Amino acid sequence: MTDDTTPRAGPSTGPRAGERPRGPWDPDPNAPPAPKVTERRLGPLHIRVERGVRPATAPTPAQAPGGTGAAQGGVLDKGQSPAWALISTLLLGGFLWWMTGSLIIVACALFGLLVHEYGHVLAMNRVGMGPARIYIIPFLGGLAKGQRPPVSEWHGVLVSLAGPAFGLLAILPVVGVWQATGQEEWLIGAFFIGLINLVNMAPASPLDGSHALGPVLARVHPLLEKGALLVIGAAVVAWGFATGRWILAAFLCLSLFAQLRAGPMREGETQLSNGQAVASLGLYVLTLALCAGATVAALLPLADGSVAGAASAGLRVLGFDRLFGGAG
């Protein structure tokens, strides 16, 4: 039994019996479906990102990868306002001066932070996430934010490692100023630049290391990624509290709780292939080694060329002497 008002397959030249004519207010049956927009909250700052799933049509200039049009969702992020960027930089600089007591070290750290974030920006723009923006976060550091998430985990790995790798370049002019002036504070400033990039390589959310190493661990098993990042994140939080780095420890602790509550990681992104996973791991180890080597090398002139002495001085700055009783 069928109902005469039930639509049937096949061509139709007009309304069927019992069916009213289609008016101009009715949706066009030939129109493409409306995009489905899902919303994600990324990281402890809960950055809002909308991802639209649209029909397979030719991209418009606003949607083209790497273009300068509006981001998905129709809203272009114009970045941090100049006034708030200045205030945030002054607050961050004041906090660093309170910690170090040296304007030279503060200037070096801020310069290194900007170069680090600009490395992320260059990579984001290169893989189609741009135009990316830099935000300065008072008391904590910086953040590079794209207009859209990466389309693949491989792109995410490249973006994550671009910051620490590119950030090491900031050491070169600082060392040049030391050679010209002979002031040892410039070497300590170079050390802090290396330290910024080295700490970011820690695989603890929301640091760059977690975004670079996480997809590799997920390639083995998704639970391995979550478990490893939670254990390492908890250890980093404990280190922060034990060494008196309260603000950093509190920030990482909030991020750890956010990770516990988060759903699937990198939802919608193309997973790493086996070759990309191997390459990602190799790039992570190489970048980590470069950051550690540059950080220690900055202290070599202060340690009379002794690698062990420079490494020991760096560990003391990180507070490991207090953790293992080396201060006494």
pLDDT in tens, 61-97: 444 444 444 444 557 778 888 999 999 999 999 989 9
Of 283, 266, 269, the residue nearest 229 (C-alpha)? 266
Average pLDDT over the chain reads: 79
Q: Which residue has the higher pLDDT, 309 or 52?
A: 309
What average pLDDT does this structure show over 187-196?
94
The span from the CA of 47 to the CA of 246, in Å, is: 23
The span from the CA of 63 to the CA of 69, in Å, is: 7
Pairing of strands 133-137, 141-145: antiparallel
The enclosing H or E element of 280 equals helix 274-297
- Long-range pairs for 225-232: beta carbons < 8 A, 24 or more residues apart: 225/265, 226/259, 226/265, 228/203, 229/203, 229/204, 229/205, 229/259, 230/256, 230/259, 230/260, 232/202, 232/203, 232/204
Question: 3-state class of 236 per DSSP?
Answer: helix
Within its chain, how far is the Cα of 285 from the centroid? Answer: 18
What average pLDDT does this structure show over 103-126?
96
pLDDT in tens, 182-191: 999 999 999 9
pLDDT grade, residue 266 (50/70/90)? confident
Residues recorded for the chain: 328
The residue extents of the domains of the chain are 77-262+269-323
Out of 22-36, 59-73, 304-318, pick the least confident. Answer: 59-73
pLDDT in tens, 9-26: 444 455 566 566 665 555
pTM for the full predicted model:
0.72
CA-CA distances (angstroms) from residue 226 to 109, 198, 233? 32, 22, 10
Quick one: pLDDT at residue 178? 95
pLDDT in tens, 223-247: 888 888 888 888 888 888 887 778 7
Q: Helix 184-200 vs helix 307-317: angle between axes, to the nearest 10 degrees?
A: 70
Question: 3-state class of 133 per DSSP?
Answer: strand
Out of 7-11, 83-87, 142-146, 174-178, pick the least confident. Answer: 7-11
The helix, strand and coil proportions of the chain, stated in percent and rounded to the nearest 5, come to: 55, 10, 35
Sign for the CA dihedral angle at 319, 45, 78, 155 comes to positive
What average pLDDT does this structure show over 156-161?
95
